Amino acid sequence: MTFLDYLDTLNRDTLVSKSLMTTASDVERVLQKSKCDISDFHTLLSPAAEAYLEPMAQKAHTITKQRFGNIVQFFVPMYLSNECFNTCTYCGFSMENKYARKTLNDEEIHNEFRALAGKGFEHILLLTGESPKKVGTDYIAHAATIARQYFSSVGIEVQPMNQEDYAQVINSGADSLTLYQETYNKEAYSKYHLFGMKKNYDHRLLAVEDGAKAGFYKIQIGALLGLSDWRYDMISLAHHVSYMRRHYWQSKYGVSFPRINGMFGEFKIDFPVSDKNLVQIMLAFRLVFHDLSITLSTRENAELRDQLLPLGVTTMSAESNTSPGGYTMNTEEGQFDISDERSLSELKASLAKQGYETVMKDWDPFIATSIKS
């Protein structure tokens, strides 16, 4: 059984309906449990649970502190290319957007890596648009090989691949995979993805399992909030996490739930997600998945990121730039706008005031060797 097969057995519309009909007593019953599980997730996302965000936050903070301490891991995203052969109505890289495209060459890649390593970053996430002919497996694997010269941990967020291609990238030095489904609502998915390989909902969904089979140490999944009903997407994401942890327990897992903002051109957000909704989502994930890493991106503004930190966040991006060559050239079109533009040193100082220690490195290649042996 794949996760796609599992989804066919899961009536998510019913779970959303149950969430909407949840009562205060249902929420209280769940919060009294010593350990919440996946069957409680829709209750924690319910409108009734909004009145219990404070006790949920206290419980989530305690769990996070027990499992992760006062530690926050930093990483930096770096875009290798804005080439893309997809038409996605919400994305700045969509091929319908007419501007000069850029793919970094070796010299430019080294320049970006040197600049970021010089700032103190140890974990890097390599991103591209989805253009297998221009930035295919060989290009991404080559970039990972170069990145390993500068960084302790190398992640990728690129087009979905098969197990063999993922294995090639891992052997080249990558250790983590990030792949967002964007929305788990298949009808909505078809509405936003009009052309290209990304139009294939099933292929994208199943690629996460190929990544696990290939042997990524860590896998991060998520949904782009604003494309569909957020309860439907978050219930789907929670069950995706649960499924992957049961069937591919050898990998560590993380989640992120970025909200749409600042896309190229005009895009109407039909399903806005409020700050309060975002808080509730984060708390629900922490209460059900104690050991899950939760990433908060620079899409969110500085004030909100500081406020959300105690509620379950374990990983944050810093000094993000969404254009290829953005750290040394900064002349190309980006994928979306950044809201938190603080420097790494400013972020560290802000977190230190709240009693948090920032970690730049918690991974080394010898870990992978030890795991395999």
Tokens 């599980």 locate to 37
The fold of 3-372 is TIM Barrel (3.20.20)
pLDDT(301) > 80? yes
pLDDT band at 373 (very low <50, low <70, confident <90, very high): very low
pLDDT band at 299 (very low <50, low <70, confident <90, very high): confident
| Predicted local confidence at residue 365, as pLDDT | 59
| Helix (H), strand (E) at residue 85 | none
- Cα–Cα distance between 94 and 317 in angstroms, integer? 23
| Predicted local confidence at residue 371, as pLDDT | 44
| More confident position, 370 or 360 | 360
Q: Going along 153-196, which residue ranges are E strands?
A: 153-157, 176-182, 193-195
| Predicted local confidence at residue 363, as pLDDT | 57
Tokens 């970053």 locate to 121
| Predicted local confidence at residue 186, as pLDDT | 96
pLDDT in tens, 92-146: 888 888 888 999 999 999 999 999 999 999 999 999 999 998 999 999 999 999 9
CB 343 within 8 A of CB 57: no
- Cα–Cα distance between 130 and 80 in angstroms, integer? 11
Question: What are the tokens at 14?
Answer: 């019913």
| Predicted local confidence at residue 265, as pLDDT | 57
pLDDT in tens, 62-107: 999 999 999 999 999 999 999 999 999 988 888 888 888 999 999 9
| Predicted local confidence at residue 41, as pLDDT | 98
Question: What are the tokens at 229?
Answer: 């009903």
Question: What are the tokens at 43?
Answer: 């209750």
pLDDT in tens, 320-359: 988 899 899 877 666 777 788 888 999 999 999 999 988 8
The whole-chain average pLDDT of the chain stands at: 92
pLDDT(262) > 60? no
Q: Give, in order, the Cα–Cα distances in Å from 220 to each of 21, 119, 217, 253, 274.
A: 31, 25, 10, 6, 23
**Which residues, 6 or more positions from 241, have their beta carbon under 8 angstroms from its beta carbon?**
221, 253, 255, 285, 289, 292
With 0-12 CB in 10 A as exposed, 13-18 as middle and 19+ as buried, what is 271? middle
Alpha helices in 32-162 (DSSP H): 41-44, 53-68, 106-119, 137-147
| Predicted local confidence at residue 370, as pLDDT | 46
Q: Which of 344, 279, 352, 354 is nearest to 311 (CA)?
A: 279
Strand partners, 71: 357
- Average pLDDT (157-174) is 97
- Average pLDDT (283-292) is 98
The share of the chain scoring above pLDDT 90, in percent, equals 79
- Cα–Cα distance between 70 and 321 in angstroms, integer? 27
DSSP per position, 330-360: --SPPSB--S----HHHHHHHHHHTTPEEES
pLDDT band at 260 (very low <50, low <70, confident <90, very high): confident
Tokens 């591919």 locate to 248
Backbone phi, psi, residue 351, to 5°: -70, -35
Give the β-pairing of 252-256 and 218-223.
Answer: parallel
pLDDT(203) > 90? yes
| Predicted local confidence at residue 99, as pLDDT | 85
Count other Cβ atoms within 10 Å, centred on residue 39. 11
Q: Which of 277, 157, 288 is nearest to 222 (CA)?
A: 157
DSSP per position, 15-38: HHHHHHT--HHHHHHHHTSSS--G
pLDDT in tens, 87-99: 999 888 888 888 8
Q: Which of 3, 72, 12, 67 is nearest to 35 (CA)?
A: 67
Q: Which of 199, 225, 182, 227 is nearest to 84 (CA)?
A: 199
